[in-house]
Structure 1
Amino acid sequence: MTKFLLAVHVIAAILAVGPVAVAASMFPPAARRALAAGPGTDDLGAPRLLHRICRVYAVIGVVVPVFGFATASEMGVLGSPWLIVSVALTALAALVLAAVILPAQTALLEAGSGTRNPTARLAMATGLFNLLWAAVTVLMIVRPGSTTGA
């Protein structure tokens, strides 16, 4: 059962978190181009699509920690420091996505073309989101101090 849960956890992470990371990273430059087009133009199609991908896959991404906890429980590692840090970083990444990235994307889309272009802050938040997921991935692979094998 552990192998099945782990496989579902990893596949869900790749298929749910991956698209959010990519779409969120692509959004600031796409929004920058669309906003630079000026008033009277509606070039927000690409940013709208990227925002929708972020929203939909963020919801789907909930299965990642669900299967992660199930896997950790099966493996008996729920109290392991590497897992606790991974959970904390995952929660922080989810908070950055839900409280910073998605609202900023929505605000940019609602503002439309010809407005001030605050994409630098959004790009920074997206970089932080991706960095947090990279750290979680490394912790999941390396598992420092783990006694369950490499």
Structure 2
Amino acid sequence: MSNFKQRFLSWMHGHVFAGDLILTLVIGVLLFGVTGSITYNPGLLFDLNPSIQMAWEAAMLIPLLIRRWRPQTGALLCVALALTHLIFGPCILGADILALVMLYSVIVYGNPKNTKAFIILALAIGLLASALMAWTMTNGPLLTGGKVHTWSSWNGSNPNGAMVTEV
């Protein structure tokens, strides 16, 4: 291993919070760049302004920041934020991929007695999230009568000759 890499890893080990802050900021910048162009992403109840998605992305970074300092709190906060944004909108975020990092962190850094419970919780939340996303993207938000995406074959813009249109 190179000398720089050894020094960097040693610094990260000695400065856990600062290292996690740097990592969180880098991931945040990447997430905002990737998800900033999504325009239709309703929740189960509401179809919110796309700018609110950025606020949710930022909120989902908080558990990542505390994942090694307070792993169980971070994991539970991640679950709470995910459920809240699923219900109120948007239904899916780029930051949702961080749930895998949170599961890893709570297993590695958390209380080993709770490992099985967190794995079951992750599975349950994943199944619920899949069902809510499918419902929302098919039927639109419940309370606002939001947009419903359907496939129309007359506007060929994807490889199958279909384009998403709003009804």
Decide which structure has the larger Cα Rg and report it: 2
More helix by share: 1
More strand by share: 2
TM-score using structure 1 length: 0.37
TM-score using structure 2 length: 0.34
Bigger RCO of structures 1 and 2 (CA < 8 A, at least 6 apart):
1
